[in-house]
Every structure is written in C-alpha cells, then in structure tokens.
Structure 1
Amino acid sequence: MKVGFIGLGNVGGKLSGSLLRNGFDLTVLDRKPELVAGFVGRGAAAAGDAANLMRDCDVVITCLPSPAASAAVMEEMLPEVVPGKIWLEMSTTDDAEIRRLAALVEAKGGTAVDCPVSGGCHRADTGNISIFAGCERETFERVLPLLMTLGRRVLHTGPVGSASVLKVVTNYLATANLVSVCEALVTAKAAGMDMNTAYEAIKISSGTSFVHETESQVILNGSRDISFTMDLVAKDIGLFQAIADRAGVPLEISPLLNEIFRDGQERYGPRELSPNIIRRLEDATGLDIRAPGFPPEMVDDEPEEPGYEVVPTGIARPVAAE
C-alpha cells in the first residue's frame, strides 16, 4: 500500500512519522520544504503537488489547520480520484464540510473517511493517540489496519461527519477544562498554596483530568508548550458553537469560552501557545504561576503498542454487511 500524507505540522508530522517508523511506503507533501526534506532524509518520497500524490498513492491522508485548507487541497486532488482511492481526513474540521467533500470523492468512485485524532501531540509521536473514524462499517474494516498503526485506540463513530462532530465535542471539553485549570491554579497561588502540592492535590482527587495531568505541567514549568496555539483552539470551539447553534442548543459556557479566547488572541496573538491563556489571570493578579520540577513539554513514556478497536459501552461489536 502506497500512502500519501499532506500536512507535516505538529500533529501531522508525528502521525506520518509513525507510518515511516512502521515501514509504510510513504510520500509526503507540505508547504514548508524543510519539513519535507526531513522526511526524505528518513526514507520517505516527496510529492510535487497534491494531484500527483493522489494519482500515485492508494491512500492519501490530510492533516491540515483549517476546513478551508482541506477544501483547497481536495480541489487539487479531486481530478485524480478514481475507484479504489481512499482519502483519510485527519484534520479537525467542520462536519458539514467533510460531508460535502466526501460526497465529491465518492461521486468519483473513491472512499472518504473523517478520522481526527485526540490525546495530544506527545501521543501522536508514539502511535498511542486515539482516533475517531466516520465512515461505513465496511470501509472502516478496510482502513482499520492503517489506523491501528497511526493510533492505539480506534473508535468507529458512524457515518462520515460523525467523527468530526465528536472530535469538536472533545476539544470543547478540553478547552473548558483548560480554562478551569488555569483559574484553579491561579486561585490556589493567590490563597498561598505551594504549587507543587496544589498540582498533586488536584491530580489525586476528583478534580483531576487529562488536561490537568498534561497541560498543568507545562504551565507550571513556564514553557506553556503543548504544541497547540490559541487560533486553533478558537477554531475548534467555534466549530462546536456552530454545531450547537444548528441544533438549537442554548449553550451558556461555550459563548464565554469563545470570548475568553478571542480576548487571549487580541492580547497575545493568535499563534500564542494555548496554555498561555493563563496569562490573562497572571496579568490581572500579578502572580507568576510556575513551580520547579515540571517538564517543558510532554513526552509519552508509554511504549508504542499495537492499536485496537474501541467498542462503545452497551453496544455489540458491529460487523460489515455481507
């Protein structure tokens, strides 16, 4: 199987690295020549453009920063889509847009899957990240071996578009947790607590979470480097709000989160690291929320393990139609 990968950024570079590490015939494309050169130096081939990549590969994976970027790349690739071609969209994108693009691919005889990832860049680097996959069951079983190389826990979410909805839902929850963690850490500091002790108290309590156990560490280190930026957070929580608006759900927390990140981008710039949203509170209080002994970035210390399908609680394992 020849695999093409478009988008070698913070997440895509790590996901494609898993393919290369596991012996896949990989061709890559990115707007930054230095990123492509790094992969070529490790044994990948370089594509001239997106159309050539689709023509020459069996599967093309995209991992791009916005729905607009994905649409632009698909416009280039679409003339080369023929029966048997598979497109895996691993970007965090708009569910309506992925359904629109998937319909174009399927009209040409190809197959489309939206399969965003979740779990942090450090887990993408080791192949231990989680993957949601939206597609027909038969298609899911065709691409499952590839997805189990890219990630560890793979969940079939339903038809195309469903994975993108659930990815945006989970990113919304992570953002809400990040803001609440920032408030908790600053309040603990203002109350005179030792920050190392505060971190451990939260970690061993009912207040802990994935976000606390990862992002709180780089916040306390001071690097704030989780390989994710404020503009990307704003995109994701904006997509969540759009889903809720279309469904007529009167959200209360979501509009406030969107306003917080709009303000954060205005203050510190859209490419500021997302955990630095805590700076709004540091600036307001004059407090420095740092503590010794925490790492500058997260590293996945779990060994790379074979992936597997996650079956939802209460649902029998589905099978492809005969």
Structure 2
Amino acid sequence: MEKMKLGWIGTGVMGNAMCGHLIDAGHQLNVYNRTKNKADNLVSKGAEWCSSPREVARNSDIVFSIVGFPPDVESVLLGENGVLAGARPGMVMVDMTTSSPELARTVSEAAAKRSVTALDAPVSGGDVGAREATLAIMVGGERDVFERVKPLFEVMGGNVSYMGDAGAGQHTKMCNQILVAGTMIGTVESLLYAQRMGMDLDAVIDVIGQGAARSWMINNLGRRIANGDFNPGFYIKHFVKDMGIALAEAQRINLSLPGLALVNQFYVVAQAMGYEDLGTQGLYKVLARINNMEDIAGPG
C-alpha cells in the first residue's frame, strides 16, 4: 500500500487504537484531540501533534475523524478552525463518528463547494473491534472515493462495505444500533434471571452463547457483566445519542419503533442514575436496582 499523509481527529476509546493501526501500517499521521494527553502514545509512535483540526487538514491528504456527538462533528469539520477551513482541493474528509444522516449530507455538500469530498463511515465492534482491527465499517459517499480510501479502512476493519450516497453509512449504523438495543436488553434480562436463580453466569453463557440465542452481546458484553466489568467499550451517553438519532429519523418518516423507544427510556434512566460514563452493559445495574437485586461488583 502506498504510504500516505493522513490526519486523525479524536483519540478516545475507539479512535486511539484505529489511528494506531494506520501508524503501524507505515502512514504519516497528523493528530489532534481536544485533550492532548490522550494522543501522547500516538505521538510517541511517530504521529505529529497538531494544534487544531484546521492544522491537521493543512498537512494531510485524507483526514479521519471520530468524535462524540453531532455538534462535535459540525465543529470539527465545518467550524471556523475546522477541517474544511484548512482543506485543499482534492482532499478527502472521512467522518467515522456515529452521527446524523442529515449532517452527513450537509458535510458532503459543504465539502463539494470547496472541491473536497466527504465520506460518512461509522463503525461497529466496540473497543475490542478497534484494538483487533476487526471493525465493521459502513460507508456512504461517492463510490470512487470509497474505493480510494478502502485500503485504509481495511487496516482498521474486517468488514468494510459501501452502502450508497452520503448519509447511507449513518443510516446503516442506525439499523445496527436498533438491533443492538433490542439484543442488549435481552442479554441483561437473561443474566438477571440467571443471577436471581442462583446460577453461575459464565456457565449459562457457555451454553446459551452457542445456541439459537448466540450473539456478540451475550458472548462479549455478557462476559463483562458476569465479571463485574462495566468499563466502557462504548459509553452509555453515546448510545443514548445514537438511539435519539434513530428515533428522530424514524419519526421523520412516520415509522413506529416501540422496542427502541422502550430501551432508550431505560438508558435515559441509567444516565439519571449517574451511569452515563459506563459501558452499555451498565444497563444491568439499572435493572438490578429496579428489581432490588444485589448488584454485581464493578465501577459506578
């Protein structure tokens, strides 16, 4: 693969590992993060620190971003000191944040006016997928630009798919998050039942995790619950954001999603209980409290 000058914005739970894979593949990385010390390990591996998204863009041919919320995306990409402000004609912006499909289209249109192209490329697979470079990456935008960036996506993920025009990547991620929501509450309720019955949670997962109920949730986050590990692979606060986007899109097209709406309410309760910085498996703590059950040990 040709070695490239790349930019990376957002070095949190997911972005740090993803950026690291690109450095390990031999690319030159220019990095920016709102909290500088969260990029220290990448700088020590050879990345160049930049003082703003605008500076990242000035020194890069392709800029990747993965931040928290849609307003962060808008600021980082379209703001006065954002990527587009420092972009050169021909540059590519790739936003890997889970964000609004409408915002993805807005970014694409704004980029085109500057002779820049944009892809929306949200990911699924959590912190494990980011560390092991096995993420699912779902991409919207121009097909030829996707093909150009695809070798870089393949450094970070094991399942890279082109989904259609601008916003299509985000719509695919909404499908993913709707399914995650339903599977997550099923995982939690299954393990609550096992705990109340006095069963060994790991032993239960060993069996049901290989049958018809098999899922990534039970075999990965279920294990974390069993071990009292509620640290974030993906924050509750970010999942609430994602469900809110999906529900807003559904309302826009007059689509009823009662299951998603119910799970969203449980996660809003989790935030009210102070669990917003736990991983999504922290939903277990909410339902344990509702059922007056002894909590499994863990942070929060």
TM-score, normalised with respect to structure 1: 0.87
- 1:307 corresponds in structure 2 to none
Structure 1 residue 137: Cα displacement: 1.6
Structure 1 residue 148: Cα displacement: 1.2
C-alpha separation between the residues in 1 aligned to 2:184 and 2:107?
Answer: 32
- Number of equivalent positions: 292
1:222 aligns with 2:225: no
1:4 aligns with 2:7: yes
- 2:271 corresponds in structure 1 to 265
TM-score, normalised with respect to structure 2: 0.93
Q: CA separation of 1:135/1:145 partners in 2, compared to 1, >3 Å: closer, same or farther?
A: same
1:244 aligns with 2:250: yes
- One-letter amino acid of the structure 2 residue matched with residue 22 of structure 1: A
Q: CA separation of 1:56/1:289 partners in 2, compared to 1, >3 Å: closer, same or farther?
A: same
Higher mean C-alpha deviation, range 137-146 or range 190-199:
190-199
Structure 1 residue 269: Cα displacement: 3.7
C-alpha separation between the residues in 1 aligned to 2:149 and 2:233?
Answer: 28
Give the alignment partner of residue 72 of structure 2, picking from 63, 69, 73. Answer: 69
- 2:21 corresponds in structure 1 to 18
C-alpha separation between the residues in 2 aligned to 1:257 and 1:83?
Answer: 44
- One-letter amino acid of the structure 1 residue matched with residue 35 of structure 2: K
C-alpha separation between the residues in 1 aligned to 2:240 and 2:224?
Answer: 20
- One-letter amino acid of the structure 1 residue matched with residue 163 of structure 2: T
Q: CA RMSD in A?
A: 1.6
- One-letter amino acid of the structure 1 residue matched with residue 155 of structure 2: T
Name which structure has the greater RCO, CA cutoff 8 Å, separation 6+. 1
- 1:115 corresponds in structure 2 to 121
Residues 1-44 of structure 1: per-residue CA shift (max 9 Å, x gap): 20000000001111101101111111110011212222111111
C-alpha separation between the residues in 1 aligned to 2:202 and 2:127?
Answer: 24
Matches within 5 A, 1:154-165: 154-165=160-171
- 2:208 corresponds in structure 1 to 202
Cα pair 1:215 1:226 within 8 Å, conserved = no
SS at match of 1:282: helix
Matches within 5 A, 1:122-137: 122-137=128-143
Residues 239-270 of structure 1: per-residue CA shift (max 9 Å, x gap): 11111111111221111111111111101242
The percent of aligned pairs where both chains have the same amino acid is 26
C-alpha separation between the residues in 1 aligned to 2:69 and 2:290?
Answer: 32
Higher mean C-alpha deviation, range 27-36 or range 211-220:
27-36
Matches within 5 A, 1:17-166: 17-74=20-77, 75=79, 76-166=82-172
Q: CA separation of 1:210/1:289 partners in 2, compared to 1, >3 Å: closer, same or farther?
A: farther
Structure 1 residue 140: Cα displacement: 1.4
- One-letter amino acid of the structure 1 residue matched with residue 213 of structure 2: G
Structure 1 residue 127: Cα displacement: 1.6
Where structure 1 has 5 or more consecutive residues not aligned to the other structure, the ranges are 297-322
Cα pair 1:131 1:153 within 8 Å, conserved = yes
Cα pair 1:265 1:272 within 8 Å, conserved = no
Structure 1 residue 174: Cα displacement: 1.1
Where structure 2 has 5 or more consecutive residues not aligned to the other structure, the ranges are none
- One-letter amino acid of the structure 1 residue matched with residue 195 of structure 2: K
